[in-house]
């Protein structure tokens, strides 16, 4: 009979070891606000486009900026196993904005233009693919990214270095077998993988409340059953998110083992334009952080409003440029489906 593991080990799996919490770098609050403002202005422009003849469908991460912006700033950006791989989903726009994605790139995909650098105008908005940043193609299929993540993490484990794999998805998708597959393959004793497993919980699976389909309080606590350390964080608080993400990333980089982190966030505009995308009454992380900075005396209301208006203007100008750009032509429908013969380079 196999020896039963010490139950005390399982009890101690929640939380990030203190050694990593003590090494969290300071957060530049104004920089985080600036990028949150940029991400929010872009998202609002994309929603407006979806209501015109220039856009067909919108799905996005309005309300997730307080968690996604710190994550994007903490990524070790580059190409190849020495850098971080990102397996994202379609609410990850603020992560890419924080990493340096120009607004016009997202607008081009929203408007299905041939100039779309991610898919040539052939995919939904927020379906990114950036080889130079190890951003694995985003798919509309729910949570398949959790199955793919251990693959890049295994390559990084063999390669060495400090690069890690980061995978995120929504709470509803954790009901899929792909999530369990990620936990299983990332936690094999003696062969653990450097994966940061993120669940961004907005409490909704399209129109079904989280509380109606799950018995546990959080999805990420399932990590404990696999021997994976885990924690939760208020994803509407950028400072708390920065601290938790910094410590969790440091843990995975150092130990080369997985870690699970769940962020509680708001969903401010419904699931997508298919469900109307109307504003709902939930806490707004952007407005809350703005009020906090004003109260602390970090910046005045006029200063912060000027920052947002500047990004709003940039998003509008990007749209005015993009609508003059060409749509993809029928003869390109089969482009980039398969690799060209002998095109692979080591």
**Segments making up each domain of the chain, as ranges:** 13-221+235-325
Tell me the pLDDT of the chain (346 aa) as tens digits: 344 455 555 567 999 999 999 989 999 999 999 999 999 999 999 999 998 999 888 788 999 999 999 999 999 999 999 999 999 999 999 999 999 999 999 999 999 999 999 989 988 899 999 999 999 999 888 889 999 999 999 999 999 999 999 999 988 888 888 999 999 999 999 999 999 999 999 877 777 767 767 777 789 999 999 999 999 999 999 999 999 999 999 999 999 999 999 999 998 888 777 776 677 889 999 999 999 999 999 999 999 999 999 999 999 999 999 999 999 999 988 887 776 666 655 5
Distance (Å, whole) CA 36 – CA 67: 10
Distance (Å, whole) CA 183 – CA 259: 10
Number of H-type helices and E-type strands within the chain: 11, 7
Distance (Å, whole) CA 311 – CA 39: 9
Q: What is the pLDDT of residue 2?
A: 44
Number of residues written out for the chain: 346
User: Could you tell me if 82 and 159 are in contact, meaning their C-beta atoms sit under 8 angstroms apart?
Assistant: yes
CA dihedral 307→312→315→319, nearest 10 degrees, is -160
Name the residue among 192, 214, 188 with its Cα closest to residue 203. Answer: 214
Q: Could you give the angle at which helices 144-159 and 177-186 cross, rounded to 10 degrees?
A: 20
Name the residue among 44, 96, 69 with its Cα closest to residue 277. Answer: 44
User: Could you tell me if 194 and 252 are in contact, meaning their C-beta atoms sit under 8 angstroms apart?
Assistant: yes
Segment holding 299, helix H or strand E: none
Distance (Å, whole) CA 66 – CA 289: 8
3-state secondary structure of 275: helix
Per DSSP, 100 falls in state T
3-state secondary structure of 30: helix
Distance (Å, whole) CA 43 – CA 46: 5
CA distances from 287 to 27, 65, 234, 269 (A): 18, 11, 15, 15
Sheet with 195-201: strands ordered across: 85-87, 165-170, 195-201, 259-264, 229-234
Strands 165-170 and 85-87: parallel
Quickly name the fold that domain 13-221+235-325 has: Rossmann fold (3.40.50)
């Amino acid at each position: 009979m196999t020896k039963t593991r010490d139950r005390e080990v399982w009890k101690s799996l929640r939380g990030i070891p203190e050694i990593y919490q003590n090494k969290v770098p300071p957060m530049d609050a104004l920089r985080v606000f600036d990028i949150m403002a940029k991400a929010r202005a872009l998202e609002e422009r994309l929603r407006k486009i979806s209501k015109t003849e220039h856009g067909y469908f919108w799905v996005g991460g309005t309300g997730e900026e307080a968690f996604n912006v710190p994550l994007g700033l903490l990524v070790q950006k580059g190409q190849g196993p020495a850098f971080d791989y990102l397996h994202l989903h379609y609410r990850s726009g603020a992560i890419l904005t924080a990493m340096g994605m120009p607004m016009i790139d997202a607008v081009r995909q929203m408007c299905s233009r041939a100039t779309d650098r991610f898919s040539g105008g052939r995919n939904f908005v927020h379906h990114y693919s950036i080889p130079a940043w190890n951003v694995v193609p985003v798919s509309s299929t729910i949570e398949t990214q959790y199955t793919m993540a251990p693959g890049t993490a295994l390559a990084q484990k063999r390669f060495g270095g400090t690069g890690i794999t980061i995978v995120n998805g929504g709470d509803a998708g954790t009901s899929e077998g792909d999530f369990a597959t990620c936990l299983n393959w990332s936690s094999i004793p003696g062969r653990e993988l450097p994966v940061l497993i993120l669940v961004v919980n907005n409490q909704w699976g399209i129109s079904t409340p989280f509380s109606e389909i799950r018995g546990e309080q959080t999805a990420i606590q399932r990590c404990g059953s696999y021997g994976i350390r885990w924690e939760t964080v208020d994803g509407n608080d950028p400072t708390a998110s920065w601290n938790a993400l910094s410590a969790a990333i440091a843990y995975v980089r150092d130990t080369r083992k997985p870690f699970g982190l769940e962020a509680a966030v708001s969903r401010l505009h419904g699931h997508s334009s298919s469900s109307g995308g109307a504003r709902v009454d939930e806490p707004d992380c952007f407005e809350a952080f703005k009020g906090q900075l004003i109260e602390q005396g970090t910046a005045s209301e006029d200063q912060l409003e000027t920052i947002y208006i500047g990004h709003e203007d940039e998003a509008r100008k990007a749209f005015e440029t993009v609508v003059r750009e060409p749509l993809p032509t029928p003869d390109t429908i089969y482009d980039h489906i398969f690799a060209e013969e002998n095109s692979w380079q080591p």
